[in-house]
Amino acid sequence: MPACRFVVSQVSLLIWLSWPGPRLGDATKVDENTNLITNHCQMSIRNGLFLLLFLLCQDSGIGQFMEENWITPFERDSSWSATRQEAHDYLDRLSAASPRVQTRTCGVSDGFLPLYEVVISADGETDPVQVKASGRTVVLINNAIHPGESEGVDACLMLARELAFQPDMQALLTDLVVVILPYYNADGGLLRSPTYRANQNGPRLQGFRGNGRNLDLNRDFIKCDSRNAFTFSRLFQKWDPDIFVDTHTSNGADYQATITVIATQPDKIPPALAEFQQQTLLPGLYRSMARAGWPMTPYVHTDGPPETGIHGFLDLPRYSTGYTALFQSLGFMPETHMLKPFPDRVRSTHRFLHSILHLASAHREDLLRARAEARNQALNCREWPIRWTLDRDRKDSLLFRGYQHTYKTSPVTGMDRLFYDRSQPYERIIPYFPRYRAVATVSRPVGWILPQAYTDIIERLAVNQVQMYRIEGDTVLQAPVLYISSEKTYTQPYEGHYPHVDVQVEERKEEMLVRTGDLWVPSDQKAIAYLMATMDPRAPDSWFAWNFMDGILDQKEYFSAYVFEDLAADWMKEHPELQEELNQALLEHPEWNSDPRAILDWIYRHSPYYEPTHRRYPILAIPTPVAWSLKPFTGVEP
C-alpha cells in the first residue's frame, strides 16, 4: 500500500476507533448519561464519516485493513459466534497491538485445552497485588461456561477492543481492571452443531453444554470435579474480583425482554453488600439498560406462565455466582432470551457489560467500602444460615412486559399445549417473590478439625486459599461429634454424583483422638462463608452432600450369629438396664420376634463391638479455643 494511502487508512481507522460510542456491533453509545437519540445521531455521524473515508480510498486497501484487523468474527457475520480459537487469536492480536491488553494461559480444561486469562488495565499491570494496592476495582467476566450460550464471547471481543483503543472506554481503566475468561468450557466449545440448543434462535453453530467429562461446569464450583473448576478457583482467588459476571442464555417462558439478570440472592450475603447491590448497583443496571434500549427484567424463574409470579433464584454455591458470593464478590448472570435474534442477544450482553463497567467505575469507592464492611460482618456473624426457602410471605410486584399465553391443541400429542401469542403483548403488574428465608442455622465454631485422610477436601480448601494448620502432637479431646442419623440420596446420578439431601444429624459429646498431621481450620478468616457452606453436613453444598465422605455410610465389620450369641448373652447379663430398652424396641418391631438376627443386631449396636465410625461425621466443629501446637500448612493441589 502506498504511504499516503496507508496514512489515510490509519487516520480513518483512528477516527472509527476513537469516536466515542458504538460501532458495527452496538445499538447505543456507552455513556449512560447521553440519551438514545443523541446516541444514534453520533453513531450515524461517525459511521458516515468512516464510510466517506472508506469510499474515498476503497482501492487503497483500507477495507481490507479493517476486515483483517479489528472486526470480530461476529461483526463480520452476525449469525456466527467466535470459536474458542478465533477468540483467543483475536485477543492475542489485540494484546500485541495494545499495551493495555495482556493474554496468558491460566490453566487447562479437562480435555487439556488451555484456558485464557485476559487482563485489561490502563498501565498493563497484571499483578493483582499491585492492582489492589492502587485502589482499582476488579471486574471478572466469564464466558461460554455453557458454550451454546456464547453471546458473552462475542461481546467480550468487542469490549476488549474498545478498552484497548477507545478513549472514552480507556477512561474507565483509571478506576478498574477487567479480567476476562473468554471461553471457560473449552471442551464443550469444540463440539459445535446447529442443533445443540433445540429452542434457541442462533447462532449458526452452537457449542455443547457438557465439558470433556460431560459435566455441567455451572454445578461444579464446590465439588470441583473438573480441571476447569480448579483453574477457575485459582484465577478467582488470585484476583478476588469485586464484581463477577457469568454470561448465559435462558430457556423457559416467552416474554418481550431480550435480556434478564440474576443477581446473587441478597439474603445469602452480608447486609452491607446486599444493600449496595439492591440499592445502588441493580437499580443503576436496570436504569442504564433501559436507557440504552434494552429494558431488562429479573430472570424469569416461574412455576407457570410469568403472570403467575416470578421467584428469586437461589444460587447455591455450586453455581458460579453462589460461589463468588461466598467471598463477598457480587455476582451477576445476564441471561439473554433464547428466542430473540442472536445479534440482539450479543448486543444486549455487550451493553450489559458496558453498564457493569460504568457502574463499577462510578461507584468504585462505595463498592470497595461495602465489600470491606461485608467481610467484617461475615467475620462477626455467630449464627449462620445453611438452608433457605422461598419466602412467599414477602410478596413484591413488578411491571412485566410479556405475551399473552393460551393453550391450543397439539397436532403431535392431541392434547393442550402452551402457546405464547406474540401478537398480544401486554404490560402489567405481576407478583414478584424476590426473598428467601433461612430454615436452618448453625453456630459458628472457632474452627474445624479435618482428618488428614481427606486429601480431596484439603486440595479444594487449598485452591480456595483457606488458611490451614497442621496439628502437632496426638491429642485427645472432648468434642461435639455429629452422627448422620438420616439422609435422602438421589436415585439417579447428578453431575457425576448421587448427592445427599435432607441430612439430619445427632450430636454426641465424645472423646476423640486427633492425630499429628490432622488439620486445624480456623473460622476467623476470609473464607468463613465458604467454610460454613461446605463443612457442615446439613448444608446443601457440603462435602457430605457431594459424596466426599460416603465411606462412613456403610458398616465395615459384622458378626457371625453363632459366635455373637454367647457374647450377647454375657453383655445383656452385665447390663440389665438394656433389657428394658430392648423390650421397648421389640414392641415397636413385633416382626423381630421371628427374626433372631434382628435382635442380635440390636444388641450388637448397643455393645462395644459395634464400630464407632459408622455414620460418624469425620469433621469436628470445635466450639471453644483449644491450646494446640500448630504449623502453618498451605496445602497441596492436584
- Footprint of Zn ion (CB under 5 A): 146, 149, 248
Q: How far is the CB of 19 from Zn ion (least distance, A)?
A: 34
CA distance 455 to 638: 9
Q: Give the nearer residue to Zn ion in terms of CB position, either 22 or 207.
A: 207
What's the gap between Cα 525 and its chain centre? Answer: 21
Q: Give the nearer residue to Zn ion in terms of CB position, either 43 or 338.
A: 338
Q: How far is the CB of 36 from Zn ion (least distance, A)?
A: 29
Q: How far is the CB of 261 from Zn ion (least distance, A)?
A: 13
Across-strand partners of 287? none
Q: How far is the CB of 146 from Zn ion (least distance, A)?
A: 4
Q: Give the nearer residue to Zn ion in terms of CB position, either 60 or 258.
A: 258
DSSP 594: G
Residue in the structure block whose three cell numbers are 445499538: 27
Q: Give the nearer residue to Zn ion in terms of CB position, either 334 or 499.
A: 334
Number of H helices, E strands in the chain: 20, 23
Q: Give the nearer residue to Zn ion in terms of CB position, either 42 or 297.
A: 297
Cβ atoms within 10 Å of 587's Cβ, excluding its own: 9
DSSP 33: T
Q: Give the nearer residue to Zn ion in terms of CB position, either 31 or 495.
A: 495
CA distances 322 to 218, 222, 327, 328, 372, Å, are 10, 10, 9, 10, 19
Q: Give the nearer residue to Zn ion in terms of CB position, either 192 or 460.
A: 192
Q: How far is the CB of 208 from Zn ion (least distance, A)?
A: 12
- Burial class of residue 367 in the structure, from the number of CB atoms within 10 Å of its CB (0-12 exposed, 13-18 middle, 19+ buried): buried
Q: How far is the CB of 217 from Zn ion (least distance, A)?
A: 10
CA-based max dimension of the chain? 109
SS3 485: strand
Q: How far is the CB of 168 from Zn ion (least distance, A)?
A: 31
Scanning 466-595, the segments in alpha helix (DSSP H) are 528-534, 561-574, 577-588
What's the gap between Cα 349 and its chain centre? Answer: 18
Q: Give the nearer residue to Zn ion in terms of CB position, either 110 or 149.
A: 149
Q: Give the nearer residue to Zn ion in terms of CB position, either 75 or 149.
A: 149
What's the gap between Cα 90 and its chain centre? Answer: 26
- Rounded to a whole number, what is the distance in angstroms from the first to the last CA of the chain? 53
CA distance 348 to 366: 26
Q: Give the nearer residue to Zn ion in terms of CB position, either 119 or 356.
A: 356
Q: How far is the CB of 577 from Zn ion (least distance, A)?
A: 59
Across-strand partners of 378? none
Q: How far is the CB of 218 from Zn ion (least distance, A)?
A: 6
Q: How far is the CB of 284 from Zn ion (least distance, A)?
A: 24
Q: How far is the CB of 247 from Zn ion (least distance, A)?
A: 8
Contact 201, 337 (CB under 8 A): no
CA distance 503 to 52: 69
Extract the C-alpha cell encoding 374: 461485608
Closest to 264 (Cα-Cα) out of 221, 209, 328: 328
Q: Give the nearer residue to Zn ion in terms of CB position, either 248 or 291.
A: 248
Closest to 244 (Cα-Cα) out of 114, 140, 323: 140
Angle between helix 84-97 and 151-165 (nearest 10): 10
Q: How far is the CB of 203 from Zn ion (least distance, A)?
A: 15
Q: Give the nearer residue to Zn ion in terms of CB position, either 216 or 601.
A: 216
Residues 6+ apart with CB under 8 A from 25: 72, 74, 75, 154, 155, 158, 346, 347, 350
Q: Give the nearer residue to Zn ion in terms of CB position, either 149 or 242.
A: 149
CA distance 516 to 519: 9
Contact 152, 160 (CB under 8 A): no
- What number of CA atoms fall less than 13 Å from residue 477's CA on the CB side? 19
Extract the C-alpha cell encoding 255: 416474554
Q: How far is the CB of 335 from Zn ion (least distance, A)?
A: 7
